Amino acid sequence: MVAGRSGVATVAKFDPSGMPVRIAAEVKGFEVERRIDKKLARRLDVFAQYAMFAADEALADAGLSPLAGPNGEGDERLGVYVGTGIGGLQEIVNGSRLFDQHGWKGLSPFFIPRALTNLAGGQIAIRYGAQGPALCVTTACATGNHAIGEAWRAIQNDDADVIIAGGCEAAVSAVGLAGFMVMRALSKRNDDPATASRPFDKDRDGFVMGEGAGILVLEEYEHARARGASIYAEIVGYALNNDAYHDTAPSPGGAGAARCMRLALRSARLSPGDIDYINAHGTSTPQNDVSETAAVKTVFGEHAYKLAMTSTKGVTGHLLGAAGGVEAVASVMAIKTGIVPPTANLFEADPECDLDYVPREARESRPRTVLSNSFGFGGVNASLVFRAV
């Protein structure tokens, strides 16, 4: 992200020949056996495999691994809030094909567990003996932010000391790509995939599908301090709402997004001038980028031109339900390292997108307070506020 190096390339998971869109940001070199044994891996769709990998990495980084597994004592103060926008899409496609060919006998006994959206979090809970609160959020592209925000609320309510939270997605499949393609939502820059995702650029022509998982370990502050945890940042605000306007388009002028950001600031007890950096939803679609820019100007006024606002989707593509989790990682790392990642592939800004998007090169700016936005189909919005500790 800091290098602005794109992960977008020609699709390798299947042959996209003949499709108008043939590019995506796929996870490359994924070796499931590195962390998950073959027997368990067969029970999991790829979205759940990604989530388990990311959870393993997050818990190890937090100094909480290994924890009690299914053969040890569970922990009623440990929860799992991991969501996905689409879940086992390819598993459903495969199961339907097998059913058509062979009838009910063609289905695997793992068909339903692989397809269910909550099994990513469920398998993480089994792996670590997490007997505390559990929730699978499915709110399209706002999923990751909603999962993290609701986990934060659960800890505030003293329902848990630690919650594994975030989003995962593995919808890069022929049907998944085609579904967004027929909506005319995707970039068609097949000949130049590395620059296909162009948030806020005047020549953007749609988003690029991505996949993966972004997981945080959320922990009650005094609990973390007592065990000497290394803390990246503190969540101080969260809000969610709905445009109540259209199934796929944002409300005019980004009105719903603006309300959500205002609510997040109120939740954090901060004023607009306290925000140093916004990790934007910034999908690289004509409507979203203009709408989000307008919403930020509505909320922040003149301060909108003083803060940095970037979209990391130029590098990662749009991870759908995993976007909020990955972008939460980007937000806390910006606080921890003092480096704001750039908006990759921003060559010439759209005239209606006139803020400081940190084009193409990262910036050392030491942001102390970061707002991270995620917006999704159905008009769902979610904003998180992170602050340096």
* Kind of pairing between the strands at 212-219 and 162-169: antiparallel
Could you please report the per-residue DSSP string of 9-32?
Answer: EE--SS--TT-S--EEB---S--G
Could you please report the per-residue DSSP string of 27-60?
Answer: --S--GGGTS-HHHHTTS-HHHHHHHHHHHHHHH
Instruction: Report how far residue 330's alpha carbon sits from residue 1's, in angstroms, rounded to the nearest whole number.
Output: 8
Q: Which of 141, 168, 260, 353 is catalytic?
A: 141
Could you count the other beta carbons within 10 Å of the beta carbon of residue 38? Answer: 8
Q: Which of 136, 168, 260, 318 is catalytic?
A: 318
Instruction: Report how far residue 186's alpha carbon sits from residue 49's, in angstroms, rounded to the nearest whole number.
Output: 26
CA distances from 32 to 27, 156, 210, 274 (A): 12, 35, 18, 42
Burial 138-162 (b: 16+ CB within 10 A, else e): bbbbbbbbbbbbbbbebbeeeebbb
CA distances from 280 to 8, 143, 207, 295 (A): 19, 15, 14, 11
Cα dihedral 228, 213, 375, 208, rounded to 10, equals: 140
- 136 catalytic residue (yes or no): no
- 260 catalytic residue (yes or no): no
Q: Where are the extended beta strands (E) located within the chain?
A: 9-10, 23-24, 78-84, 134-135, 162-169, 212-219, 234-242, 277-279, 308-310, 339-340, 363-364, 369-376, 380-387
- 246 catalytic residue (yes or no): no
**What token pair was written down for 35?**
């962390």
* Kind of pairing between the strands at 363-364 and 339-340: antiparallel
- Is there a contact between 121 and 136 (Cβ–Cβ < 8 Å)? yes
Q: Known catalytic residues?
A: 141, 281, 318
